Amino acid sequence: MSRKILRKAIDKAYGARRLLASKELKAISAYSMGSFLALENLHSLALDVVGRKIQGDFVECGVFNGGSAAAAACAIRPSDRKLWLYDSFEGMPETTAPDGPAAADFVGECVGDEAKVHAAMRLARFSEERYVIRKGWFQDTFTAGPMPDSIAFLHIDADWYDSVQFAL
């Protein structure tokens, strides 16, 4: 088989996979505050981690309605990895001095909906047995209950200084 024919076959297969991913991501984007490009980037990064066979589960800190989590789920669907989802579902937490005075205006804003997370995961065709929703503030949920044994991919979508520090 010539290289040219092989290249065409690979390009065709890759294009079909990318088109399928784009359709899924377009449907999932309704559950995200981020842009479609951000979802595509997250999906690509997750595919890269899977492709490199980096061991561990995927973790998202700051889930909102599940759009980003579902984008990652589409990438890890063929594997046996779990997705761990951390969010208070009560909106933005209290602020501290490093967040600045204007941040206080956003406390309680951006309240996610756990039912929408489940809906986004259904769109991603990701089984409920494969993801864990850890509802609560980061400082509480990171110290109690089940945790991933190892983490291959960590997506932190937190807005305040302390929230990011807890996630790290």
Q: Where are the alpha helices (DSSP H) in the chain?
A: 3-28, 36-51, 67-76, 114-123, 138-141, 161-167
The answer to whether 151 and 57 are in contact (CB under 8 A) is yes
Q: Give the pLDDT score at 15.
A: 47
Q: Residue range 4-8: average pLDDT?
A: 51
What confidence tens digit (pLDDT) does each residue in 74-124 have? 999 999 999 999 999 999 888 889 989 998 898 988 999 999 999 999 999
What confidence tens digit (pLDDT) does each residue in 21-61 have? 688 899 999 999 989 989 999 999 999 999 999 999 999 99
State CA 140 to chain mean position distance.
20
> Which residue would you say has higher pLDDT here, 160 or 55?
55
